[in-house]
Structure 1
Amino acid sequence: MLFKSLVILAAASSVLAAPLMERQSNASTCTDPDLRRAWHTLKDSEKKAYIDAELCLMSKPAAHGLRGARTLFDEMQSVHVLQSEIAHWVGQFFPFHRLYLRAHEYLLQTECGYEGAHPYWAEHLDAGAFSNATIFSAENGFGGNGVGDLLCVEDGPFANYTNPLGPGYKVSDHCIERRFADRVSRGSSAAVVEACMAKTNFLEFWNCVEMTSHGAGHGGVGAQMTNPISSPGDPIFYMHHAWLDRIWAKWQEEDPSVRMTEMGGNNRPRLGMAMPGAGGNPFGSGPPTPGLGSMEDMIRPDDVPAPAIIGDPGNVTTLNHLITMYGILPNRTISEVMNTKGSYLCYEYD
């Protein structure tokens, strides 16, 4: 209860303390957007194409020298590890993960020949029953729940992958770990999403989604996905965040003249936020488990420098804030990723 209260208090103070960034144009030059579709609507051949491309990233050597990474898949995870403390409970939460998803999609397409757009997991259809979700099929999905003391995923396409990053900042070999929590996954329900969609400004909307559906998706999958630092080691991470990006995009479309340029919030989490070293975990709670790790794993070590805030003079997130992708994609300002059908990005959701 104390943890929950601290999170709610901190989120509320963020809303009150962070003014909105001045309006700025983001003219669209996207005339033929890619269509990002729900996983359950894809043909089996389309699902296989996506899974094969992800397996390809897991087989290709790392190319950017990022800490602990052996493959391109690991390097995507490392981008998140290196910036996790400025990617959650901050104003760039949505923009950062939008560009991060595009970086993942870009690698799938350019390195592994994937011809589709990035799919998403329509989590509201599985809320309260992640353990029975078809996306976790061993035949044409991401494999099922973890088993044994180590909670290793032992079926499906990713059963044999050795992930060298995590838990947290730790560099250590381990399997992909899951521990479904159906009760926690209820926070992904359509009713919860609708309540967030009803928010009328960015700060309220962002806090609502991050505190509910975001955490429910991570916590509902469990284990590795509950770690706020190294969670992209489970490939379901990208499907979850594509769903969250869809929610944001649909919210923006309801009032585009305002919401395509509406930004605010803090650049670093406020006191009491559940971040590494702050005594909590934003994606779940309970004793250390494989994937989640211990609090020691959550404290940034000396060989991971504090991520820099570039483009904002203070602690208020603006459209000039620069999002860093460590060479996988060119760095972009938040302004450049506000519109999924703008001058840089070119996709839409079904």
Structure 2
Amino acid sequence: MRSLVLLLAASVASASLLPSISLNLPSSAFPKFHTISQADAEAGNDLPEGFSNSTRVNALEAAATVQTAAEAACSASPNVRFEWRQYSASDRLAFIAAIKCLMNKPPSGNFPPATSRYEDFVRLHQMDMPNVHGNPKFLIWHRYYLWTFEQVLRTECGFDRAMVWWDETLDAGKFAQSDMFTNTAYFGHLPPPDANGNGYCIESGAFAGLTCHIGPGSSNTPHCLARAVDESLTAQCNTGFVNTCNSRTSYSDMESCSEYGPHAYGHDGIGAVMSDVSASPSDPVFWMHHTFVDHGFRIWQNADVADRTTTINGNDHNGNPLTMDTMVSVGGIRPDVRIGDIMNTLSGVSIGGVPFCYRYTY
């Protein structure tokens, strides 16, 4: 009898160690990103009033500028973001480990109902969604959001490597074949949808069995990290579409094309949790995707650095014109900043004692 009792106790203890199975929500539960076709982008059909005639809000800001000491110091020794294929195996594992570290840290308490420090970021995105999507603030806010995430990985989880970025144009139409998803040490598999069009819970990789507590949409219902790749959508993250967007000379025109073009197709193409406009950062591949988006933004700026890093146009969610003095907030995780502080990735402006200073490998 005593042996039977011990066996039952051991069985209960073992069962308690098994991961809980999260709810796998149908794809219809995730609010999808709005997309435009490349043909519509080329015709400017995403712009009701047609292409803008000017890139400037403040003409004086477009005048020739003298490089500041901070810019000079930054340009002399910038942080470099390495494309995934250039990133060493050691660096990749360190990056993944730092993300998992945030997932294992308690939440700050400033973003309920986040259950971890990582979910602080997801909840922030969900809370700010109407303000930072569907208007020209999208690109500049996500630039700062991504940089803030990098800094928290460094200060709170000891991440001490160069940052990574993903050139999705090299994987367009074949995301699932990237070793980001096929190598079980990284982000986990990228399966196609099931017969009903729904995603599968991710059961491989570093984030296998992850439960998401933020989303879908504006709700907060615990659900599994699921994906449902559609390579016909990921195929739109191609060089031609990026170049179509970057051929536009106005910031707000380019932003619209980027947001509803390659950006939206990348989210919807990965599917399920990543297609949730509000809570897509629940999928850690979100950060890789947004390095691709920010890279496209920076390449557009490089075509006319003097103008495109010193001016901005378009209106925010409330109809207020964006200027270089418009404030960008990440909910207190890092200080609020002026758009003018982060419009140039090589500005060198000190933010909380850390210079805003980076470039991409190409």
Question: Into which bin does the TM-score normalised by the smaller protein fall?
Answer: 0.7 to 0.9
- Equivalent pair of 1:39/1:119 in contact (CA under 8 Å): yes
1:252 aligns with 2:257: no
What's the counterpart of residue 63 of structure 1? Answer: 108
3-state DSSP of counterpart to 2:274:
helix
Q: What residue is the counterpart of 1:103 in the other structure?
A: 148
1:21 equivalent to 2:57? Answer yes
The range that moved more, 26-35 or 159-168, is 26-35
The one-letter amino acid paired with 2:345 is T
Q: Structure 1 CA distance, aligned partners of 2:35 and 2:246?
A: 25
Equivalence map 1:296-311=2 (5 Å): none
1:34 to 1:343, Cα distance in 2 relative to 1, 3 A: closer
Structure 1 residue 32 and structure 2 residue 77: aligned?
yes
Q: Deviation digits for residues 262-313 of structure 1, max 9, x if unmatched? A: 3112211xxxxxxxxxxxxxxxxxxxxxxxxxxxxxxxxxxxxxxxx7xxxx
Report the identity percentage: 30
Q: Is the 8 A contact 2:175 2:231 kept in 1?
A: yes
C-alpha distance 163-336 of structure 1, shift in aligned 2 (>3 A)? same
Does the CA contact (< 8 Å) of 1:92 and 1:334 recur in 2?
no
Which of 103, 106, 126 is equivalent to 2:171? Answer: 126
**Structure 1 residue aligned with 2:30:** none
Structure 1 residues 349 and 339: CA distance shift in structure 2, 3 A: same
Q: Residue 327 of structure 1 aligns with which residue?
A: 332
TM-superposition CA deviations, 1:33-72 (whole Å, max 9, x none)? 1110111221111100000000001000011420210111
What is the deviation of 1:93? 1.0
What are structure 2's unaligned runs of at least 5 residues?
A: 1-33, 350-355
Give the length in aligned residue pairs. Answer: 305
Aligned AA (1:135): M
Which residues of 2 match residues 84-95 of structure 1 at below 5 A?
84-95=129-140
Question: Could you tell me whether the CA contact under 8 Å between 1:319 and 1:335 is conserved in 2?
Answer: yes
Partner of 1:75 in structure 2? 120
Structure 1 pair 135–202 and aligned structure 2 pair: CA distance change class (3 A): same
Decide whether aligned partners of structure 1 residues 89 and 14 sit closer, same or farther in structure 2, where only a CA change above 3 A counts.
Answer: farther
Structure number with larger C-alpha Rg = 2
Q: Aligned partner of 1:331: which letter?
A: D
Alpha carbons of structure 1 residues 150 and 184: separation in structure 2 relative to 1, 3 Å? closer
Is this contact kept in 2: 1:128–1:183, CA < 8 A? Answer: yes
Deviation at 1:14, TM superposition (A): 8.0
Counterpart pick for 1:340 among 335, 339, 345: 345
TM-score norm. by structure 2 comes to 0.78
The alpha carbon displacement at 1:130 in A equals 1.4
Asked whether 1:188 is paired with 2:193, we answer: no
Q: Which amino acid aligns with 1:236?
A: V
SS in 2 for 1:131: helix
The letter of the residue matching 1:102 is W
| Whole-angstrom distance in 2 between the partners of 1:335 and 1:14 | 26
Which amino acid in the other structure matches residue 322 of structure 1? M
Shift of 1:89: 2.1
Query: Matches of 1:48 and 1:4 in 2, distance apart?
Result: 35
- TM-score (normalised: structure 1): 0.81
Deviations 1:174-209 (A, max 9, x none): 111111010011110111112222222212221221
Q: How far apart are 1:339 and its partner, in Å?
A: 0.7
- Aligned partner of 2:47 in structure 1 is 11
Structure 1 residues 103 and 188 mapped into 2: Cα distance closer, same or farther (>3 Å)?
A: same
Q: Give the SS at the match of 1:95.
A: helix
CA distance in 1, matches of 2:252, 2:112: 33
The one-letter amino acid paired with 2:225 is I
Return the offset for 1:261.
1.7
1:137 counterpart = 2:182 = yes
Contact 2:52/2:253 (CA < 8 Å) preserved in 1?
no
Take 1:160 and 1:11, find their aligned partners in 2: how far apart are those partners?
42
Structure 1, gaps ≥5 residues long: 269-308
The alignment status of 1:317 with 2:317, answered yes or no, reads no
Paired position in structure 2 for 1:237:
286
